[in-house]
Structure 1
Amino acid sequence: MKRKLTTDDIQAAIYGGAILGGGGGGMIAAGEKAATLALAVGDVSLWSADEFPSDGLTATVALVGAPAAPNPCLKPAHLIRTIDLLRDALPKDQQIVALNTNENGAETTSNGWFHAAMCGLPVMDLACNGRAHPTGMMGALGLHREKDYRSVQAWAGGDAGHYVEGLTQGGLEQASGVVRRASVEAGGMVAVARNPVTVEYACRHGAPGAISQAIALGHAWLNEGYEGALRCLQGKEIARGIVKHYSCEQVGGLDVGNVELADQAATVLRFVNEYMILEQNDRSVANFPDLLMTFTAEGKPVVSAHVREGMDIRVVLVPAQHLLLSRTMFMQELYQPLEALLGKTFSPA
């Protein structure tokens, strides 16, 4: 169904996205600011996937970097610049008919809204993954398994003293690595437009309906609070306590760290942007792609980069089977870099 997004969708998309971010997916305040700006500068149309020709091209728009980096700088002009660079790189007979986000998150659910308002392209109600994930490879629809696929990725970001932009083409892993390194040079974050594929391919390997799901979840949280969000996602509170230890460092453009609670279960959350592992009493209880998310004592979602020692937080678990997930969530090879960062094995069998 085609519909124009309204101001009523903004907070729902941001807070629903924040919960589905699982600790990552960007910052709530930045997401609200970006979505508000998008609707202020033009119309943003959200179309279901079946409104597009199956052989039309959709491009993924994303933010790449470490949410807790001290000096990220992304401007609206950077977003549009990535679309211009990507369009210029495509053959003349290939036209982008839609934009889709890479994932759900506080900032990322509204990825593409500003682009759409300025470029006139509709946003497809689809994400490469219905929850947030830490690596570009996880948001690439399994294209690394497609023989001879050549990735095209455009990026831009940084303040005046650190601005970088560019376009890279090549193997998917190599191109994603170039963009990740560019985010470091830019001060922590870049906007990206990448990997045009057919609508049919995106639907088969991504998460159709992901944006509508985030908005529905956001309305449940806004209208019914913390308990309403849990009911909507069929999740449960698995821990609550005071944060006795918090660590976070930027490693290769990612936030890597731990959250330890002073509770009876000795709960530990390990994250790489998103929460990857929940341990209680030295035993793994839940692992990514299960959704693990932290909330304040009052029930407001709080991303991993904003957790602090002394906070009273709640931890929610939503099993993977209740989420809209890409096939990449079950590809063991994509977990290896994350396992190396955490020193833990947790990829799905």
Structure 2
Amino acid sequence: MGRILIERDVEAAVKGGSVYAAGGGGWADHGRQLGYAAVSVGKPELVSVEELGDDEWIATAAAIGAPASTTPWEMRGVDYIKAVQLLQDALGGKLSGLMVGQNGKSSTLNGWLPSAVLGTKVVDAVGDIRAHPTGDMGSIGMAGSPEPMIQTAVGGNRAENSYIELVTRGATAKVSPILRTAADQSGGFIASCRNPLRASYVRRHAALGGISLALELGEAIIAAEGKGGTAIIETIAKTTKGTILCADRIVRKDVVYTKEAFDIGTITLASGEVLHVMNEYMAVDSRDGRRIATFPDVITTLSEDAEPLSVGQLHEGMQIFVLQVAKSVIPLSASVLDPTVYPYVEAQMGIEIAKYALDGR
């Protein structure tokens, strides 16, 4: 049966989501703002996709942009609600539930406020257990589909007259870049609702239980707090079935913000390991150039106090721990197994990802 999400679930979702954010995935304070608003104005309900009828509509609530950037973004809770309303108007029908494209510092909670206000369920399914740079990577198999989709975007810096409302229709691969451009034009970060799909499709193609995974991890982190950073890091590794790949000091940070609203570059550790960044950590190479972790593995940087660090928080001289959760121990969606989502990311980053991501291990 469904579970009403309450105040104590907010911090668990933010803390667990922050690990799965993989260096991106929004802002913790933004996540808390969304979560506390939701549980104070209504009763957001988390349900499994099995609790919905095959023909009921589920769409993806997402935030688009590069939260590691220093751009003047502004996004309010009402923007998430308006994005859902615009999509329902365009669809000509009611959404029964909202899933999210990824876990993250705020993205785990993207569906909570619309659930509390509009009555849509928070569906316990994600387009990807971890955060990723492109909408296609969370589109549960729609990236290469010619089928027209509806995507909406709402938000922007009001003081700078950058507020945008956008409704687009078309093949996912064609309209997703339009929303990313809108994110950049609005100040770097925008709310969206996109890709309404039947529950039967979501059941077959999403990573099921993804919200519960984040909540479980967050609850474990909260229980370990007060025991020190080492104990919390050990708890995170144990709960996620992950390992600490390396721990060392950052000697070089070479990350730039692009006009496509991506943060792209590398982080180099004193021991020679290199983290490849496109908003999130997408790969890790050993000091001899051998690939040791690749998306859709969860790759996360933690401080000595066990705080999950976004790319934007990293600086040279900082001591970090790099967590890897192998793709073999997490639910994988159709989107991360879709070869069409990789060429664009590989071209932007200049490294190979698909051959590692799709190797079947």
Q: Which residue identity does 1:240 align to in structure 2?
A: A
Q: Deviations over 1:70-91 (max 9, x none)?
A: 2111012211211121111113
Aligned 1:274-285 pairs, distance under 5 A: 274-281=280-287, 282-285=289-292
Cα distance, 1:229 vs structure 2:
1.2
Alpha carbons 1:220, 1:232 under 8 Å: kept: yes
- Give the counterpart letter for 1:128 in structure 2: G
Equivalent residues of 1:131, 1:325 under 8 A apart:
no
Aligned twin of 1:313: 320
Residue number in structure 2 paired with 1:175: 175
Indicate the RMSD between aligned Cα atoms, in angstroms: 1.3
Q: Does 1:102 align with 2:101?
A: yes
Contact (CA 8 Å) 2:66, 2:189: kept in 1 or not?
A: yes
Match of 1:65 in 2: 65
Task: Provide, for residues 41-68 of structure 1, a one-character-per-residue CA deviation record: whole Å limited to 9, x for no partner.
Answer: 2211111111111210011100011112
CA separation in 2, counterparts of 1:155 and 1:269?
Answer: 31
SS in 2 for 1:131: coil
For residues 79 and 31 of structure 2, the distance between their equivalents in structure 1, rounded to whole angstroms, comes to 16
2:235 aligned with 1:234? no
| SS at 2:129 equivalent | coil
Q: Give the 5 Å matches for 1:256-267.
A: 256-263=264-271, 266-267=272-273
Amino acid at match of 2:157: D
TM-score by length of 2: 0.92
Alignment of 1:89 with 2:90, yes or no, is yes
Shift of 1:324: 1.9
- For residue 156 of structure 2, the aligned residue among 158, 164, 167 is 158
Looking at structure 1, the residues matched to 307 and 57 of structure 2 have their Cα atoms a distance apart, in angstroms, of 37
Matches within 5 A, 1:250-261: 250-251=257-258, 252-261=260-269
Q: How far apart in 2 are the matches of 1:164 and 1:205?
A: 31
Match of 1:295 in 2: 302
Matches within 5 A, 1:115-134: 115-134=114-133
Report the Cα distance in structure 2 between the residues aligned to 1:205 and 1:11, rounded to whole angstroms: 28
Distance 1:310 1:222 in 2: 28
1:131/1:323 contact within 8 Å kept: no
Find the aligned partners of 2:338 and 2:49 in 1 and give their Cα distance.
24
Secondary structure class of the residue paired with 2:217: helix
CA distance in 2, matches of 1:176, 1:267: 33
The residue type equivalent to 1:319 in the other structure is A
1:183-202 correspondence runs (5 A):
183-202=183-202
Partner of 1:140: 139
- After TM superposition, give the deviation of residue 260 of structure 1 in Å: 1.1
- The TM-score with structure 1 as length reference comes to 0.95
4+ residue stretches of structure 1 with deviation over 3 A? none
Q: Would you say how many aligned residue pairs link Structure 1 and Structure 2?
A: 344
Query: 1-side partners of 2:242 and 2:83: how far apart?
Result: 37
Matched, 1:325 2:332: yes
In structure 1, C-alpha distance between the alignment counterparts of 2:178 and 2:318, rounded to whole Å: 37
* Percent identity between the two aligned chains: 32
The alignment partner of 1:329 has SS state of: coil
Q: Is the 8 A contact 1:128 1:202 kept in 2?
A: no
Q: Any conservation in 2 of the 1:131–1:324 contact (CA below 8 Å)? A: no
Structure 2: runs of 5 or more not aligned: 225-231
In the other structure, the counterpart of 2:228 is: none
SS of the counterpart of 2:13?
helix
Deviation at 1:136, TM superposition (A): 0.7
Aligned partners of 1:333 and 1:101: how far apart in 2? 20
Quick one: distance in 2 between partners of 1:144 and 1:89?
20
Which position in structure 1 is the counterpart of 2:219? 219
Gaps of 5+ in 1: none
Any idea what the Cα deviations from partners look like across 1:280-314, whole Å, max 9, x if unmatched? 11222111111110000122211222111221110
CA distance in 2, matches of 1:199, 1:306: 38
Q: Distance in 2 between matches of 1:299 and 1:90?
A: 43
CA 144–279 in structure 1, closer or farther in 2 if over 3 Å, else same: closer
